[in-house]
Chain A
């Protein structure tokens, strides 16, 4: 039965296109946040419904006081190919972030505040995780106006129903 089904699928019925994604943003570093924003924006560009759910340090991306100051993690980041001690030198994180931001601008990739606003304008839902908001003693006023709501994990699953969930 299942082999037959597989055979039928294998014969060329194209797979169902993705129509909805819910992206969880849990990291607070620049390299942790951008991939999620690019995937969210990219989904909307393809006409795919998208929700972004910011949790733990990912909340920095929608925190009005912090979203301009998100930095590349230079400590414990082997991808930078820096000597371990160099990653911890004062100012190195700001320097690397500055260099990367300049490269991104050349590719027309917006800074985080503008990018989140663009994604919200494209019709994607922007949500903050209630457990993390409580944990960091934050409230609605700490966030950018594009945040639609502070929701529980249960409500997130409700919103994500019928689509794919991407954890970053």
Chain B
């Protein structure tokens, strides 16, 4: 565990840069993590996915699978991969300030 500075705030992150305390997150941090991952502008569709991931994690204690993400977030699988080419679940979790999803699906 180490710390990183996003949008002027010091936050605790794991070795891959995922926030370890979702409480330290805010929208400016999200935008900066997204930019570092190659997403210059977070659109409403990006936000829809990021918020869904974050809300699910905060209410259930685990991040949803890519199947659930495709079915319940309102953004279908094809579009998920267009929005987050480097892996929708992983990247949306990182941008949403929650730990890296551990599921295989």
Q: Which residues from chain A sit less than 8 Å from chain B, CB to CB?
A: 38, 41-42, 44-47, 107-110, 114, 118, 121-123
Contacts and interface: CB of A to CB of B under 8 A. Distances in A.
B81 A44 contact: yes
B66 to A, nearest CB: 6
Nearest to B76: A121
Interface string B73-89: 00011101100011111
Interface of B: 65-68, 70, 76-78, 80-81, 85-90, 103-105
Contacts of B65: 108
A110 B67 contact: yes
Contact of B66 (A41, A107, A123): A41
A46 B77 CA distance: 14
B70 to A, nearest CB: 7
B85 to A, nearest CB: 7
B68 A108 contact: yes
A123 B81 contact: yes
B100 to A, nearest CB: 11
6 contacts: A45-B87, A45-B89, A108-B65, A122-B66, A122-B77, A122-B78
Contacts of B103: 108
A104 to B, nearest CB: 9
A132 B33 CA distance: 47
B77 A118 contact: yes
A118 B67 contact: yes
A45 B66 contact: yes
A168 to B, nearest CB: 15
Top 10 closest pairs, chain A to chain B, by CB: A47-B86, A121-B77, A47-B87, A108-B65, A121-B78, A45-B87, A123-B81, A122-B81, A46-B87, A108-B67
Contacts of A107: 105
A108 B105 contact: yes
Contacts of B87: 44-47
A107 B103 CA distance: 9
